[in-house]
Amino acid sequence: MRKLIKFGEDVEGFNIPVLNEREIRAAAGMLFLATFLSLMFIVFKGNFVPIKYVITFFLVDFGSLQKSVSGCVSQGKPWRP
């Protein structure tokens, strides 16, 4: 039976799917930077507007498991839904 959700890519020489840790760290770093900057807007200016967009993007990004926007950017590929 095929799995509906598959993490990683099939790489020759490995029996299990392999994840690229550099891409994962790059995507996490971009999301962290956006979240940190929006939290600094709250602390120093009292502006809550950026965090609304960051949280929405964060949830949408994790909702699309196979085609994450930040994952495509970290790979240097254009995002296609």
- Residue 74 is predicted with a pLDDT of 74
pLDDT at 45 over 90: yes
Q: Fill in the DSSP letter of residue 40.
A: H
> Cβ(17)–Cβ(5) under 8 Å?
no
Domain ranges for the chain: 21-73
pLDDT of residue 65: 54
Point out the least confidently predicted range of 6-15, 34-43, 64-73: 64-73
